[in-house]
Chains A and B, each alone.
Chain A
Amino acid sequence: MRVKAVILVLVISATIFSVCFMVNNTIAVNDDARETANIAWGSKGEYVRKIQSKLKRWDYYDGPIDGVFGAKTYEAVRLFQRKNGLLVDGVVGPQTAAALGITLPGTRKGRADAAYVSTSGVTNRNDINLLARAIHGEARGEPYIGKVAIAAVILNRVRHPSFPNTIAGVIYQPGAFTAVADGQINLQPDREARRAAHDALNGWDPSGGAIYYYNPAKTTNRWIWSRVVHRVIGKHRFAK
């Protein structure tokens, strides 16, 4: 029996890629917010910056957007409050913040997520399986680091702007891999191919950052010969 597919710790570097594609969820302000941190003279940081940029855009404020709540910001807040029929106190509390269209720190406190359901069934087993099959189809009989290097080329392509952004997208791009075209990718991968997929996903890259590889005895593509070869492993040249 095949060893069961195992699950991988994607370290920070590997996750940046996926994380940077996640869009931040905007969280609705709950009505029963219990306490809020007001922003007033002397406050500093991101929220002050937000308030300043809003006030500046609407011509209440002409100072720098420096994240420091000083005299100018205070005057601008008062002016804004007067014009908008709010209590004129120079303090950005919940009402003023809402009028400015921003959410204060702490206003989200005590949010009840009764409907929250825990995440289930998310793994990266599919990535490992697909990579292992690509390795098995493309590099059976190559030395171990040659296998890791092929998986690394696939991952380098995922991160490269000139290629698709997913492992499946890269592997199944028409004409990109012969093992896909002739169906060898559908063979059952062996233990070593799985191991190589793991190592490549964990960051090992014997290809030296390559995005192409070719077998000089087999390729008919003249263009590929013009690329800088980073490394020769077994029958393959790894190039960029």
Chain B
Amino acid sequence: MKGRHFILPTVLAVALIGVAIWGYNQYTQKQQYHTYVDNLYQKSFYDLIGSVENIQTNLSKLMVASSPNQSMSTLSEIRRHSDNAETNLAQLPISHLALDNTQKYLNQLGDYCYFLARNTGEGRPISQEQRNNLLKLKKNAAALTTQLHQLEEDISAKGVKWGELRQKGRRKMEQTSEDIVDTRFKDIEQQMMEYPVLIYDGPFSEGIERMKAVGLTGPEISQEEAERRVREFVGRNFVGEIERLGEGEGKIKTWNFQVMPRNRGIAPYNVDISKKGGHIVWMISSHQPARSNMTIEEAVKRAQDFLKEKGYDNMVPTYKQHFDNIAVVNFAYQQDGVIIYPDHIKVNVSMDNGIILGFEAQSYLMAHRIRDNLKPKLTEEQAREFVDDGHNITSVRLAVIPTASMEERLCYEFKCTLEEDEFFIYINANTGKEEKILQLLRTTNGTLAI
């Protein structure tokens, strides 16, 4: 009996020590993770500062460079550093809403310099207007450098921890960290709002945002008329019920519908139809075919018949793939024997019973029109001179391809092979310029063009 009253306290004491050790371990582990995360953020931040400084010095060098070679290497450096700055900026724990303009600035700067480097390589040196743009962009880089240096000082002076910004401040110190960084980035955003509108041949050009849908022809239609056309498109006998879902904004304004097929075994279809002209923009069903009963070629045929039936003549299949018993066939418009890649439509076909599960014509509606300049200045033989004949050319055809900024170029499309690899080489049919190279990667499910 004696000594029994020691057992409980002893057990508790041991447990307490155990918990304390466990807790301390947890705590040190947590601190280690915090430090690790903080270090990653610090690295991004310092890389960002370094890149922005390099952008500025390279922009200065560019202004005094006299040879095309020097300009090109300086422009490539700016592009490299702006890419790096953008990547690191996007990794900092700051709301992306507070970085909108700064990210746009860095992306467009890199993109613009890449465009200028390509021009220089083609014998078109930087024009006076482009120099003026670069000077204005340099002003932004200078402002950004100053602000980042001040932020760096604040951070080391006041002990701001990047990791703490991640969890929205609950304690006082976190609150200050957040304030310091937020205020600084708000100032940066203000300064980044002012720089020239850049329109050039590149994916981030302002020109792309301003594009209009030229394929949208015809008058505005009412919701009733839209419903009638949707019923017609999906198929009168196929449709059970149609539900009106309202309207959609965007580059193409739409009426939206949900279609319940008469056959209850098929998942509903969603269909968007343009208000202007009543063109079907896209249609999709999540129906999952259970098996494949046809070859990909049969599915392509099925998709092509569907397009013909809906009045899309002159569409030729360009790429195809299949996955999970669904074939996806890409068609491009053909005018006077020339493939017009910008006008493309995609069709999903169930490889079970051949019903159409999807249709997508947004790009077609953005770009489609009758082209009036499809006569090449170079003959096929002349264009061939621009292709290395170490490659084995297997086929040639004329094609209109989109550039990075969605302009169009008439090209000879040479399909070539090099060892096992296949390529499309696009030679401008008027100037002989090598506009683009795509590599085709064949896989069991279809072809990948990169």
Q: Interface on A for B, CB 8 Å cutoff?
A: 3, 6-13, 15-24, 27, 37, 44-47, 49-50, 52-54, 57, 65, 67, 105-106, 108-113, 116-119, 122-124, 144-145, 148, 159, 161-165, 169, 173-176, 191-192, 194-195, 198-199, 202-210, 221, 223, 228-232, 240
Q: Residues 338-371 of chain B: 1 if any A CB is under 8 Å from the residue's CB, otherwise 0?
A: 0001101010100000000010101100000000
Task: In the complex, identify which listed stretch (B9-17, B122-130, B221-229) lies at the interface while the others stay far away.
Answer: B122-130
Expressed in whole angstroms, the Cα–Cα distance for A50 and B91 within the complex equals: 42
**Residues of B contacting A: mostly:** mixed
Q: Which of A13, A15, A67, A161 is within 8 Å of B450, CB to CB?
A: A15
Flag if B431 contacts A230 (CB, 8 Å). Answer: no
A106 surroundings in chain B (CB, below 8 A): 385
Report the interface size class on chain B.
35 or more
Q: Which of B91, B121, B270, B402 contacts A12 (CB 8 A)?
A: B402
Contact pick for B448, options A47, A123, A206, CB 8 Å: A123
A11-B449, A16-B404, A46-B433 given; A57·B270 CB < 8 A: no
Q: Does B390 contact A (CB under 8 A)?
A: yes
Q: Are B249 and A231 in contact (CB under 8 A)?
A: yes
Set A6, A49, A52, A202: member contacting B445, Cβ < 8 A: A6
Question: Do the beta carbons of B402 and A203 come within 8 Å of each other?
Answer: no
CB nearest neighbor in A for B208 = A159
A169 contacts across to B, CB distance below 8 A: 87, 90
The 6 A-B residue pairs whose C-beta atoms are closest, nearest first, are A208-B250, A6-B323, A20-B404, A53-B123, A144-B286, A118-B420
Take A12-B401, A46-B431 as given contacts and tell me if A7 and B448 are in contact as well, using a CB distance cutoff of 8 Å: yes
CB distance from A52 to the nearest CB of B (A): 8
Q: Which residue on A lies nearest to B329, using beta carbons?
A: A9
Interface flag for B330 (CB, 8 Å): yes
Contacting pair A9 B284 (CB below 8 A): no
Minimum CB–CB distance for B31 against chain A, Å: 21
Q: Are A57 and B125 in contact, CB atoms less than 8 angstroms apart?
A: yes
B70 in the interface (beta carbon within 8 A): no
If the complex has contacts A11-B319, A124-B448, A192-B286, are A175 and B93 also in contact, measured as CB distance less than 8 A?
yes
Partner of B390, one of A6, A52, A113: A113
Bound: A161/B198 CA distance, A: 12
- Judge whether B450 and A10 touch: CB under 8 Å: yes
Task: Judge whether B438 is part of the interface by a CB distance below 8 angstroms.
Answer: yes
Instruction: Say which residue of A19, A46, A221, A228 sits within 8 Å of B432 (CB atoms).
Output: A46
Closest to B447 in A: A9
| Contact in complex: B324, A7 (CB < 8 Å) | no
Q: Are B449 and A123 in contact (CB under 8 A)?
A: no
* A contact face: mostly helix, strand, loop, or mixed: loop
B contact residues around A228 at 8 Å (CB)? 249
A229 to B270, CA, bound (A): 19
Contact with A195, one of B251, B288, B377 (Cβ below 8 angstroms): B288
Contacts of B324 in A (CB 8 A): 3, 6, 191, 194-195
Q: Are A11 and B123 in contact (CB under 8 A)?
A: no
In the assembled complex, how far is the CB of residue A209 from the closest CB belonging to chain B, in whole angstroms?
5
Do A203 and B87 touch (CB < 8 A)?
no
B124 to chain A, nearest CB (A): 7
> Which residues of chain B come closer than 8 Å to A11, judged between CB atoms?
318-319, 330, 344, 346, 449
Chain A residue numbers with a CB within 8 Å of B267 are: 144
A176 touches B96 (CB 8 A): yes
The CA of A174 and the CA of B369, in the complex, are separated in Å by 42
Residues of chain B within 8 A of A203, CB atoms compared: 346, 360, 362-363
Q: Is B54 among interface residues, defined by CB-CB distance under 8 A?
A: no
Contact B402 A164 (CB under 8 A): no
Complex: chain A residue closest to B330, CB-CB:
A11
Contact B358 A105 (CB under 8 A): no
Least Cβ–Cβ distance between B368 and chain A, in angstroms: 13
Residues of chain B with a CB closer than 8 A to A118's CB:
419-421
Q: Which residues of the partner chain A approach B143 to less than 8 Å between Cβ atoms?
A: none
Which residues on B sit within 8 Å (CB–CB) of A195? 286, 288, 324, 326
Set of chain B residues within 8 Å of A3, measured between Cβ atoms: 323-324
B97 interface contact, C-beta 8 A:
yes
**A169 CB to nearest chain B CB (Å):** 6
* A208 B254 Cβ-Cβ under 8 A: yes
Complex CA gap A47/B383 in Å reads 12
